[in-house]
Amino acid sequence: MADTIKLEISRYSPETDAAPHFQSFEVPFRRDWVVLDALNYIKDKQDGSLTYRWSCRMGICGSCGMLVNGEPKLTCATFLADYAPASIRVEPLRNFPIVRDLVIAMNDFMRKFQKMKPWLIRKEEKPVSEGEYLQTPEQLDAYKQFSMCINCMLCYAACPVYGLDPLFAGPAAIALAQRYNLDSRDQGAKDRFPVLSQHDAIWGCTFVGECTRVCPKHVDPAGAIQQYKLTAALDWVKSVVMPWGGK
């Protein structure tokens, strides 16, 4: 196998470029290198102006998401060897405004995320001195999967609905709302309902399912959304059949 590999990297500087363009780099090919190692090599040895985010290098901080050959990936968990000897195309995540080179703006997600009230809501707080809220392993299991989201934004890059309709709340934000709704300690489902049941939230999703396919942490946001649709629909039925009850 060749001892170098070519990377075609999308470059964009708002100060000089009108639009992104590709630039090629040649880096040593090593079996145990991930795409991020190649980017670091370029930055250290060839072009210090190459701009991208990264931190943990172990797939947990969620900052290194990019498109690798068009597919949303954590670049710290994507091996060069899976693509060699062909060249590899690296681009910023799709569906987001590009700030510079491989860096996207995710302010939009942060805003939508906060609207979901992603924190534990209690009618009455129990004092810490009284100990923990009990939660069996089964109850933990009910929401655990949705709590694994690292906010890497791969699902947003994969979801065509988000690309077409920037108002759409998107997979991760909804999955994280579900994470709290399904937590046996939480009593805030009613507070989250008005936001979640918007057209721009759950009803905007057409179950493309790409979000789940690309999610590196097996969060299954598509499942979370469909499950919430079912909950919301049943709630609706209840409110029609028994308009006097609940609410």
Partner 1 sequence: MDVTTHDVLLVGGGGAGLRAAIAVSELNPNLKIAVVSKVYPMRSHTVSAEGGAAGVIKSDDSLDEHAYDTISGGDWLCDQDAVEAFVNEAPQELLQLEHWGCPWSRQDDGHIAVRPFGGMKKMRTWFAADKTGFHMLHTLFQTTMKYNSIFRYDEWFVTKLLVDDGRVQGVVAIELMSGKIQAITAKSVILCAGGCGRVFPFTTNASIKTGDGMGLAYRAGAPLKDMEFIQYHPTGLPFTGILITEAARAEGGYLVNKDGYRYLQDYNLGTPTAKPVLRSMELGPRDRLSQAFVKEQEKGRTIDGPYGPVVHLDLRHLGEKLINAKLPFVRELCTKYQNVDPVHELIPVRPVIHYMMGGVSTDINGATPLPGLFAAGEVACVSINGANRLGSNSLPELLVFGARAGKAAAEFASSAKPISNSILAQAFDEQRRIENQFLRNTTGRERTSTIREEMQQTMETSAGIYRTESSLAAGAKTLRHLQERSDNLALDDHSLTFNTDLVAALELSFMLDVAESMVQSALQRTESRGAHQRTDFPKRNDEKFLAHSVVFRAADGRPRVEYLPVRITRWPPGERVYGQPAQKASAS
Partner 2 sequence: MDAQPTKLRIEPLLWLLFSAGGGVAAFFIPIHLFILGIAAPLGLTKATDYASATAFLAFPIVRFYLFVLCSLPLFHAAHRIRYTLYDGLQIKHLNEVIAACCYGGAVLGTVIAGYLLWSFQ
Partner 3 sequence: MKSSVATPPYTLNHPRWYRKRVSTYWWLLRWEYLRFVLREISSVFVAWFVVLTIVQIYAVSRGPDAYAEFQDFLKNPFVLALNVISFFFVVFHSITWFNLSARAMAIRIGGKRVPGFLISGPNFAAWLVISALIAWLLLRE
Interface residues with ligand SF4 (CB under 6 A) are 149-155, 171-172, 175, 215, 217, 219, 221
Q: Tokens for 168?
A: 């759409």
Pattern 71-110, binding to ligand FES, x per CB under 6 A? Answer: ---x-x----------------------------------
How many residues interact with partner 3 (rule CB under 8 A)? Answer: 37
Binding segment (CB under 8 A) for partner 1, from list 88-96, 127-135, 154-162, 193-201: 127-135
Choose which of 198, 209, 217, 223 interacts with partner 2 (CB under 8 A): 198
Among candidate residues 88, 79, 64, the one with its CA nearest the CA of residue 10? 88
CA pair distance 11, 116, nearest whole angstrom: 34
Pattern 101-120, binding to partner 1, x per CB under 8 A? Answer: x-x-xx---x--xx--xxxx
| Interaction between residue 171 and ligand F3S (CB under 6 A) | yes
CA pair distance 78, 37, nearest whole angstrom: 10
Helix (H), strand (E) at residue 11: strand 4-11
CA dist 211 to 3, 55, 83, 175, Å? 35, 23, 23, 11
| Interaction between residue 229 and partner 3 (CB under 8 A) | yes
| Interaction between residue 148 and ligand FES (CB under 6 A) | no
| Interaction between residue 164 and partner 3 (CB under 8 A) | yes
**Binding residues among 31-60 for partner 2 as defined by CB under 8 A:** none
Whether the CA torsion 233, 95, 106, 90 is positive or negative: it is positive
Q: Which is nearer to ligand FES, 151 or 231 (CB)?
A: 151
CB of 125 to partner 3, least distance (A): 27
CA pair distance 56, 35, nearest whole angstrom: 14
| Interaction between residue 110 and partner 3 (CB under 8 A) | no
Among candidate residues 103, 105, 128, the one with its CA nearest the CA of residue 49? 103
Backbone angles phi, psi at 245, to 5 degrees: -80, 155
CB of 215 to ligand FES, least distance (A): 13
8 A C-beta contact, residue 197 and residue 178: no
| Interaction between residue 235 and partner 2 (CB under 8 A) | yes
**Which parts of this chain interact with ligand F3S (CB under 6 A)?**
158-159, 161, 171, 205-211, 221-222, 225
